[in-house]
Amino acid sequence: MASAATTRTLTDLSGPKGLPLLGNLLQLDLKQLHRVLERWSDEFGTLYKFELGRRPVVVVTDPELNQTILRNRPKLYRRLGTIEPVFKDMGITGVFSAEGEDWKRQRRMTAHALDAQHLRQFFPTLIKVTQRLRNRWNTAAARESAVDVQQDLMRYTVDVTTNLAFGYDMNTLEKAGDVIQEHLEKIFPLINRRINAVFPYWRHFKLPADRALDQSLVAIRETITGFVTRGRARLAAHPELAAHPTNLLEAMLAAPLEGDAAFTDEEIYGNVLTMLLAGEDTTANTMAWMIHFMIEHPEAQARMRAEAGAVVGSAGMLSQLADAERLNYIEAVTNETMRLKPVAPILFLESNEDVEIGGVAVPKGTALFLLTLHGGLQDIHFGAADQFRPERWLATAPAAGCPHNAKAFIPFGTGPRFCPGRQLAMVEIKTVMAMLCTEFEVAKTEHSQPVTEVFSFTMMPENLLVRFQRRPAA
């Protein structure tokens, strides 16, 4: 609740000047939205406002305030109100966009499906999928061909997700031509456009991108319907799975048999699609950014290689899950990558009731954009913040005069809606990087264009074409 001592209101907040009716809409480049908002923060401070049409949006970049807001979900804050209807229009009624009791019910099941026990059981399958990625890159190395590494990693993460969450091996890594990723990748850019739109134009007329999305959603639904049909057949053939489901899909299908509330067909579809999107996009882009930094910083690549070689030896692959914990420097590179290139540089929320944020009275229903990248790039929070220094994550205590504010680092969020897939993501990353570092040298292609950031609800690299070269046997 807003304090009686509050001295400021939204009208007192500074921000960029806009136009009547449109507000700051014409100043926003959606593909660079995070950078636009960060530049405004440099000018107007860590708490400011802009306008989407007539709607005020409060931007928060202060790490302490962001932590407080995230820890007070779902009571005081929720995801931006436009997210749920935008997702519903696409048929995505899953745990990401759900609120209230619906979220609690779906969250419990999702967290259970991604817990440590299931991950240990899944590890041999993870290695099998990683071996396929190695084979794909072996072929590319033999042909001396340029590799769109982000696309390869998206195939990898979809294969991991479908195996773990749905018990189905899509094996897109060994397929040529159209794969489901080509349909999935159309979703996030349209989510980004629609949640920032002044009105829901797509319900009245369709742009070419909207029509392409509709076609992709038909193809995705057909694929997911296949997952569900096979899952129901497994449960019918093996009724004992109802008491001990082996994956998320089985758990959702078996819920009414175990006394829990049944999931509707749309909830099942929505959560399957949510898992595909979350499992594919965020982890794949983090690994792609890591490879970018490995190329830009060969000394880091060499140190990663030495560590991976000491852990995995001549096998070139992790042999047991516990070995992932020994890859401390690779974990440090992962953290430094997520500090400099977080795949979620903006979190879109709104207030559930009248609240106070940083001494400002914020009315119920106000849109809040939390910038997670900006704080991590400030020297007051991290020493030499603009520099790639993985070693900062290995120190047991910050060096004198070299700040290290962990509150300014929230790649998986924090509070009750902390990402349940964090452990899976870290194991995927370490498994792939251990393989990559022991088996290959990775470098830029000739005449490479600069690698740039593209924001489409998540942040991904563009122009990241690389060449793989086999390392000689030790």
* Tokens linked to 115: 């817990």
Q: Which residues contact 156 (CB under 8 A, 6 or more apart)?
A: 129, 130, 132, 133, 173, 284, 428, 432
C-beta separation of 162 from 223 below 8 A: no
In this prediction, residues 213-232 reach a mean pLDDT of 93
Give the model's pLDDT for residue 214: 95
pLDDT at 430 over 90: yes
Q: For residue 382, tell me if it sits in a domain.
A: yes
Q: How do residues 61-87 score in pLDDT, each as one tens digit? A: 999 999 999 999 999 999 999 998 999
Give the model's pLDDT for residue 104: 84
User: Side chain identity at 203, as an amino acid letter?
Assistant: R
- Which H or E element spans position 467? strand 465-470
In this prediction, residues 80-96 reach a mean pLDDT of 89
Give the model's pLDDT for residue 351: 97
User: Side chain identity at 123, as an amino acid letter?
Assistant: F
Q: For residue 2, tell me if it sits in a domain.
A: no
Give the model's pLDDT for residue 461: 96
In this structure, which long-range contacts are made by residues 446-455, counting pairs with CB atoms below 8 Å and at least 24 apart in sequence?
Answer: 451/292, 453/32, 453/34, 453/35, 453/341, 454/31, 454/32, 455/30, 455/31, 455/32, 455/33, 455/34, 455/35, 455/192, 455/345, 455/346
Q: For residue 164, tell me if it sits in a domain.
A: yes
Give the model's pLDDT for residue 6: 57
Phi, then psi, of 57 in degrees rounded to 5: -125, 125
Q: For residue 192, tell me if it sits in a domain.
A: yes
In this prediction, residues 259-286 reach a mean pLDDT of 85
Q: How do residues 101-145 score in pLDDT, each as one tens digit? A: 888 888 887 888 888 888 899 999 999 999 999 999 999 999 999
Q: For residue 3, tell me if it sits in a domain.
A: no
pLDDT at 165 over 90: no
Q: pLDDT category, 471, cuts 50, 70, 90? A: confident
Q: For residue 5, tell me if it sits in a domain.
A: no
* Tokens linked to 238: 């093996």
Give the model's pLDDT for residue 296: 96
First-to-last C-alpha distance (Å) of the chain:
64
Within 331-394, strands assigned E span 346-351, 355-357, 360-362, 367-371
- Upstream peptide bond of 363 is cis (omega within 30 degrees of 0): no
Q: How many domains does the chain have?
A: 1
Q: How do residues 376-385 score in pLDDT, each as one tens digit? A: 999 999 999 9
Average pLDDT, the chain: 91
Distance CA 380, CA 402 (A): 9
Q: pLDDT category, 347, cuts 50, 70, 90? A: very high
pLDDT at 11 over 60: yes
Tell me whether strands 77-79 and 459-462 are parallel, antiparallel or unpaired: unpaired
Give the model's pLDDT for residue 105: 81
Q: What is the CATH number of the domain that holds 248?
A: 1.10.630.10
Q: How do residues 353-362 score in pLDDT, each as one tens digit? A: 999 999 999 9
Give the model's pLDDT for residue 156: 96
Q: pLDDT category, 338, cuts 50, 70, 90? A: very high
* Tokens linked to 379: 């020297």
Give the model's pLDDT for residue 398: 67
Q: For residue 50, tell me if it sits in a domain.
A: yes
* Tokens linked to 228: 């569900």
Q: For residue 357, tell me if it sits in a domain.
A: yes
Give the model's pLDDT for residue 139: 96
Containing structural domain, residue 153: 10-470
Give the model's pLDDT for residue 331: 97
pTM metric for this prediction: 0.92
